[in-house]
Amino acid sequence: MIKTPYYLIDKSKLLRNMEKIAYVREHSGAKALLALKCFATWSVFDLMSQYMDGTTSSSLNEVKLGKLKFGGETHAYSVAYADDEIEEVLAHSDKIIFNSIGQLERFEAASANQVRGLRLNPGVSSSEFLIADPSRPFSRLGEWDAAKVERVLDRISGFMIHNNCENSDFALFDQMLSQIEEKFGTLLAQPQISWVSLGGGIHFTGDGYPLDRFCARLKAFAERYGVQLYLEPGEAAITLSTSLEVTVLDTLYNGKQLAIVDSSIEAHMLDLLIYRQNAKMEPCDGPHEYMVCGKSCLAGDIFGEFRFDHELKVGDRLSFIDAAGYTMVKKNWFNGVNMPAIAVRQLDGSVELVREFGFDDFVNSLS
């Protein structure tokens, strides 16, 4: 048995998402780029690259990872590029997307031979959380003034518009896309604009999502403006493909039954802490309820409350499902808690341990 904690990526579950992405590509004409900010575990890129067109990034390191480990198209985006990294960004990307007109003008000469785009901010989004809302008041993410953008159209050939966040509602997606067309339609229709990325955050691989209506809407948009559409699935690419496997280290009662495990939300599932959400387990309505807690010293290091068919005891193994997105890319060494290993269940059912982390990794992350 692999020593816990570890992330277990199941390729057969990953394949279900890949097949839905392939369906959307075929029936809509849109291309799909993996959003590395959400998931960048390159040990499964061999499978993913068969079903996706490339990667999109948020930093120099992600650009290089996408180019070297995934292949296909490599889109570079950053909220702001620095002078000392722009040359490497350009060398490892097929398209570069600037967040602002100021950045476009600053690196106009350096990027003269590159396919260039600009991020637009339509002022609407699906985010329920202010911290993640790209259209929040005073947002720094993209240009919102169409008249200003019109003056630099001769320097770009496409746009990126990312305003969907955990959006599983097709009607809301459709509504916001219509608002984008209303606000930026004149820009989109310009003959020099040949591609548009609609970003990520669209949960079209979820159960019950109307894929055919989604494909038809994308195709109609692309045909109306004569553009190649791109999608940037992150969560949609890896949803329900991965678990975080942990072991119970202690149990106690303090008004509630508590179980402490050898993992930590702050170190291993940081988004749970940021968004104050619970981890997920397979549903169980057993009679034994426990608050499952992490082993760090943070008082709020709590995975959530769950029901079990049996009383938990030291040594029991637990499995948190849907644990791929924004976990491995955010894991950290808080408290020096052991970093989860990474394992992959191959399509033939065999499990391969692909990466372990030890004391040397902890030391080398510091100085």
Q: How confident is the model at residue 243, as a pLDDT?
A: 98
Alpha carbons 357 and 341: distance in angstroms, whole number: 6
Give the pair of three-digit tokens for residue 131.
Answer: 């911290």
Q: How confident is the model at residue 343, as a pLDDT?
A: 98
Burial 191-208 (b: 16+ CB within 10 A, else e): eebebbbbbbbbbbbeee
Length of the chain: 367
Alpha carbons 104 and 199: distance in angstroms, whole number: 19
Contact of 143 with 149, CB cutoff 8 Å: yes
Handedness of CA 138, 144, 149, 153 (dihedral sign): positive
Write the CB contacts of 187 (distance below 8 Å, at least 6 apart in sequence). 120, 146, 149, 150, 153, 159, 193
Cα of first residue to Cα of last residue in the chain, in angstroms, is 34
pLDDT, averaged per 10 consecutive residues of the chain (367 residues), comes to 97 98 98 98 98 98 98 98 97 98 98 97 94 95 97 97 96 97 97 97 97 98 98 98 98 97 97 95 96 97 98 98 97 97 98 97 95
Q: How confident is the model at residue 92, as a pLDDT?
A: 98
Alpha carbons 173 and 249: distance in angstroms, whole number: 44
pLDDT for 96-134, tens place per residue?
Answer: 999 999 999 999 999 999 999 999 999 999 999 999 999
Write the CB contacts of 303 (distance below 8 Å, at least 6 apart in sequence). 261, 263, 265, 269, 272, 278, 279, 292, 293, 294, 320
Q: How confident is the model at residue 37, as a pLDDT?
A: 98
Handedness of CA 179, 183, 189, 193 (dihedral sign): negative
